[in-house]
Structure 1
Amino acid sequence: MESTTAATGPMPASNYPALELSSEVQAMIPEELKVIRRNGKLTGFDPNKIRIAITKAFLAVEGGQAAASRRIHDTCAELTEQVVRALMRRLPAGGTVHIEDIQDQVELALMRGGFHKVARAYVLYREERARLRAEKAKAENKPEAPQLHVTDEHGQRKPLDEGRMARLVKESCQGLEDPDPQWILQEAKRNLYDGVPENEVIDTLIMAARLRIEQSPDYGYVAARLLLDKIRSEALGFLSGHFETATGAEMEEGYADYFQRYIRRGIELELLDPVMGQYDLEQLGQALKPERDFQFTYLGLQTLYDRYFIHHDGTRFELPQAFFMRVAMGLAKNEIDREARAIEFYELISSFDFMCSTPTLFNAGTLRPQLSSCYLTTIPDDLEGIFNGIKEDAMLSKYAGGLGNDWTRVRAMGAYIKGTNGKSQGVVPFMKVANDTAVAVNQGGKRKGAICAYLETWHLDIEEFLELRKNTGEERRRTHDMNTANWVPDLFMKRVAEEGEWTLFSPDEVPDLHDKYGQDFERAYLAYEEKAARGEIKLFKKVPAVQLWRKMLTMLFETGHPWITFKDPCNLRYTNQHVGVVHSSNLCSEITLHTSDEEIAVCNLGSVNLAAHVTEDGLDMDKLQRTCRTAMRMLDNVIDINYYSVPKARRANLRHRPVGLGLMGFQDALYKQRIPYASQEAVEFADRSMEAISYFAIEASAALAQERGSYSSFQGSLWSQGILPIDSIDLLQEARGEYLDMDRSRTLDWDALREKVRQGMRNSNCLAIAPTATISNICGVSQSIEPTYQNLYVKSNLSGEFTVVNPYLVADLKSLGLWDEVMIADLKYYDGSVQQIDRIPDELKALYATAFEIDPRWLVEAASRRQKWLDQSQSLNLYLAEPSGKKLDALYKFAWLKGLKTTYYLRTLGASRVERHTAAPKPEEAPKVCSILDPDCEACQ
Structure 2
Amino acid sequence: AVTVLERRYLRKDNQGKVIETPEQMFKRVAHHIAKAETNYGTEADAREMEEAFYELMTDLKFLPNSPTLMNAGRQLGQLAACFVLPVEDSMEGIFDSLKNAAMIHKSGGGTGFSFSRLRPKQSRVGTTGGIASGPVSFMRIFNTATEQVKQGGTRRGANMAILRVDHPDIEEFIDCKKEQRELNNFNISVGVTEAFMQAVNKNEPYDLIDPRDGRKVGQLDAADLYQKLVKSAWGSGDPGIIFLDRINRDNPTPAIGQIESTNPCGEQPLLPMEACNLGSINLSKFVISTDEGPMVNYDGLADAVHLAVRFLDDTIEVARYPLPEITKMVRGNRKIGLGVMGFADMLFQLGIPYNSEAAIESAEAVMGFIQEESHKASRLLAAERGPFDNVDRSIYKADPGSAPRNATTTTIAPTGTLSIIAGCSSGIEPLFALSFERNVMDNDTLLEVNPYFEKVARERGFYSQELMDEVAAHGSIHQMNDIPEDVREVFVTAHDVSPEWHIRMQAAFQKYTDNAVSKTVNLPGDATEDDVRKVYDLAYRLGCKGVTIYRDGSKENQVLSFSGSEDTADTFMAAVKDRPETLEGFTTRVKTGLGQLYVTVTEYAGQPFEVFATIGKSGRSTTAKTEAIGRLVSLALRSGIRVEKIVNQLKGIGGEHPVFQEGGLVLSIPDAIGRVLDNRYLKGADAEAGGKGGNTLMGETCPECGKTISFEEGCMTCHFCGFSKCA
Q: TM-score range by the shorter chain?
A: 0.7 to 0.9
Q: Determine if contact 2:552/2:559 at 8 Å carries over to the other structure.
A: no
Shift of 1:570: 0.3
- Correspondence for 1:608: 281
Given the superposition, is the C-alpha separation of residues 799 and 860 from structure 1 closer, same or farther in structure 2, using an over 3 Å criterion?
farther
Aligned residue type for 1:898: L
Aligned residue type for 1:846: E
* 1:465-522 Cα deviation digits (max 9, x unpaired): 11222227xx8xx312221111111111111111111333332242xxxxxxxxxxxx
* 1:75-102 Cα deviation digits (max 9, x unpaired): xxxxxxxxxxxxxxxxxxxxxxxxxxxx
- Correspondence for 2:451: 807
Q: Determine if contact 2:410/2:515 at 8 Å carries over to the other structure.
A: yes
- Correspondence for 1:303: 4
* 1:321-361 Cα deviation digits (max 9, x unpaired): 11100000110113233221111110111110100110000
Equivalent residue in structure 2 for 1:892, among 493, 518, 536: 536
Shift of 1:624: 1.1
Given the superposition, is the C-alpha separation of residues 412 and 845 from structure 1 closer, same or farther in structure 2, using an over 3 Å criterion?
same
Equivalent residue in structure 1 for 2:517, among 874, 881, 888: 874
Equivalent residue in structure 2 for 1:325, among 3, 27, 37: 27
Shift of 1:439: 2.1
- Correspondence for 1:698: 375
Q: Does 1:366 align with 2:74?
A: yes
Q: Does 1:641 align with 2:318?
A: yes
Map of 1:466-865 to 2, 5 A cutoff?
466-471=174-179, 478-510=182-214, 528-529=215-216, 540-595=217-272, 600-616=273-289, 617-715=294-392, 717-720=394-397, 758-794=401-437, 803-829=447-473, 831-865=474-508
- Tell me the distance in 2 between the aligned counterparts of 1:861 and 1:564: 16
- Tell me the distance in 2 between the aligned counterparts of 1:388 and 1:847: 52
Q: TM-score if structure 2 supplies the norm length?
A: 0.72
Shift of 1:641: 1.0
Shift of 1:445: 4.0
Shift of 1:798: 13
- The structure showing larger relative contact order (alpha-carbon pairs under 8 Å, at least 6 residues apart) is 2
Q: Which has the higher mean CA deviation after the structures are superposed, 548-557 or 805-814?
A: 805-814
Given the superposition, is the C-alpha separation of residues 795 and 460 from structure 1 closer, same or farther in structure 2, using an over 3 Å criterion?
farther
Shift of 1:758: 5.0
- Tell me the distance in 2 between the aligned counterparts of 1:319 and 1:770: 26
Bigger radius of gyration among the two = 1
DSSP 3-state at the match of 2:546: coil
* 1:293-333 Cα deviation digits (max 9, x unpaired): xxxxxxx1110111111111111111111110000011011
- Tell me the distance in 2 between the aligned counterparts of 1:836 and 1:383: 58
DSSP 3-state at the match of 1:348: helix
- Tell me the distance in 1 between the aligned counterparts of 2:112 and 2:440: 23
- Tell me the distance in 2 between the aligned counterparts of 1:665 and 1:352: 11
Q: Determine if contact 1:877/1:907 at 8 Å carries over to the other structure.
A: no
Shift of 1:790: 1.6
DSSP 3-state at the match of 1:388: helix
Aligned residue type for 2:452: Y
- Tell me the distance in 2 between the aligned counterparts of 1:836 and 1:635: 44
Q: Does 1:401 align with 2:109?
A: yes
Aligned residue type for 2:6: Y
Q: Which has the higher helix share?
A: 1
DSSP 3-state at the match of 1:343: helix
- Tell me the distance in 2 between the aligned counterparts of 1:395 and 1:340: 35
Aligned residue type for 1:498: K
Shift of 1:824: 3.1
After the TM superposition, list the runs of 4 or more consecutive aligned residues in structure 1 that deviate by more than 6 angstroms: 796-802, 910-917
- Tell me the distance in 1 between the aligned counterparts of 2:168 and 2:256: 28
Aligned residue type for 1:326: R
- Tell me the distance in 1 between the aligned counterparts of 2:541 and 2:310: 35
Q: Determine if contact 1:706/1:760 at 8 Å carries over to the other structure.
A: no
- Tell me the distance in 1 between the aligned counterparts of 2:74 and 2:487: 47
Given the superposition, is the C-alpha separation of residues 575 and 815 from structure 1 closer, same or farther in structure 2, using an over 3 Å criterion?
same
Cα RMSD for the two superposed structures:
2.3
Map of 1:431-450 to 2, 5 A cutoff?
431-450=139-158
Map of 1:68-79 to 2, 5 A cutoff?
none
Q: Determine if contact 2:108/2:153 at 8 Å carries over to the other structure.
A: no
Shift of 1:760: 2.6
Aligned residue type for 1:497: N
Given the superposition, is the C-alpha separation of residues 713 and 802 from structure 1 closer, same or farther in structure 2, using an over 3 Å criterion?
farther
DSSP 3-state at the match of 1:312: coil
- Correspondence for 1:172: none
- Tell me the distance in 2 between the aligned counterparts of 1:785 and 1:877: 10
Q: Which has the higher mean CA deviation after the structures are superposed, 382-391 or 626-635?
A: 626-635
Q: Which has the higher mean CA deviation after the structures are superposed, 442-451 or 430-439?
A: 442-451
Given the superposition, is the C-alpha separation of residues 709 and 907 from structure 1 closer, same or farther in structure 2, using an over 3 Å criterion?
farther
Shift of 1:913: 7.4
DSSP 3-state at the match of 2:548: coil
- Tell me the distance in 1 between the aligned counterparts of 2:539 and 2:439: 30
Aligned residue type for 1:884: T
Given the superposition, is the C-alpha separation of residues 458 and 762 from structure 1 closer, same or farther in structure 2, using an over 3 Å criterion?
same
- Tell me the distance in 2 between the aligned counterparts of 1:429 and 1:869: 38
- Correspondence for 1:20: none
Map of 1:14-33 to 2, 5 A cutoff?
none
Given the superposition, is the C-alpha separation of residues 828 and 659 from structure 1 closer, same or farther in structure 2, using an over 3 Å criterion?
closer
Q: Determine if contact 2:83/2:270 at 8 Å carries over to the other structure.
A: no
Q: Determine if contact 2:87/2:113 at 8 Å carries over to the other structure.
A: yes
Q: Does 1:422 align with 2:130?
A: yes
- Correspondence for 2:92: 384
* 1:136-195 Cα deviation digits (max 9, x unpaired): xxxxxxxxxxxxxxxxxxxxxxxxxxxxxxxxxxxxxxxxxxxxxxxxxxxxxxxxxxxx
Given the superposition, is the C-alpha separation of residues 543 and 361 from structure 1 closer, same or farther in structure 2, using an over 3 Å criterion?
same
Aligned residue type for 2:329: A
DSSP 3-state at the match of 1:417: coil
- Work out the number of aligned pairs and report it: 548
Given the superposition, is the C-alpha separation of residues 653 and 305 from structure 1 closer, same or farther in structure 2, using an over 3 Å criterion?
same
Shift of 1:573: 1.7
Shift of 1:656: 0.8
Q: Which has the higher mean CA deviation after the structures are superposed, 430-439 or 346-355?
A: 430-439
- Tell me the distance in 2 between the aligned counterparts of 1:783 and 1:799: 25
